[in-house]
Amino acid sequence: MLEVRKSEDRGVANHGWLSSRHTFSFANYHDPRQMGFGPLLVINEDRVQPAQGFGTHGHRDMEIISYVLDGALEHKDSMGTGSVIRYGDVQRMSAGTGVRHSEFNHSQSEEVHFLQIWIEPNQTGIAPSYEEKHFDQAAKNGQLRLIASSDGRDGSVLIHQDASVFASILNGADRVDYPLSPSRRAYVHVARGEVTVNGVRLSSGDALKITDETRVTLDQAQAAEVLLFDLPQ
């Protein structure tokens, strides 16, 4: 079964310093039909204005992944971690028993454009932890690159859930086929560009929920950057 989630149907939040599109119910946006997809609970497409950012705030028992599309985002947290992530960087923070952090755009001229992803963990009360990896464009061109997994294989960041997250950059004749086992579901989010997924044409910000299918096929792309989530049923 295929269910399209169109970009224009997402929730909207505009705080001046931050504009955000919410794929699933989040903060003041609530849609009982969009409460997540399995353990995938949040995909926010955030744009942070220059010299602005998220003040210190807390999280608990959540796997939080940041995928930067443009700009540079500084991260500081109560674990003592401090870093600046840019395009190609994937940041994972396991909130566990509780962590406080802030995120800031220090540029005076460029916004930060990134995806904030929350995945519900399959174990709670763990010690908070942080991880960051860089995945260059060549590793994603015309293929799926594993960026997050339950065991950290292939150099991916480790998440505490039976899920795998892949990134891909596709264009022209590029085609990717990903087998999907009967006990799994998939979610495809188009970060930018256009791509056909299992025969469905999607544009930037669109997504596709995939259940009871044997594979995920991505083709007919035009400058597309895509995230594919392999999730438990």
- List, for residues 85-125, the tens digit of each pLDDT value: 999 999 999 999 998 978 888 889 899 999 999 999 999 99
Print the domain residue range for 208.
2-232
pLDDT at 82: 84
pTM (2 d.p.): 0.96
Secondary element (H or E) of residue 139 = helix 137-140
Number of domains into which the chain is organized: 1
User: What value does the mean pLDDT of the chain take?
Assistant: 95
Mean pLDDT check: name the lowest of 78-87, 136-145, 158-167, 216-225: 78-87
Query: What six digits make up the tokens of 151?
Result: 């065991």
Query: What six digits make up the tokens of 155?
Result: 């150099």
pLDDT at 34: 97
At residue 57 the predicted structure's pLDDT band, cuts being 50, 70 and 90, is confident
CATH of the domain at 60: 2.60.120.10
At residue 76 the predicted structure's pLDDT band, cuts being 50, 70 and 90, is confident
pLDDT at 166: 98
pLDDT at 161: 98
Answer for the pair 132, 124: CB distance below 8 angstroms, yes or no: no
pLDDT at 101: 79
- List, for residues 199-213, the tens digit of each pLDDT value: 999 999 999 999 999
Tell me the chain's radius of gyration from C-alpha atoms: 17
Spatial separation of the C-alpha atoms in residues 224 and 191, rounded to whole Å: 7
Spatial separation of the C-alpha atoms in residues 46 and 3, rounded to whole Å: 23
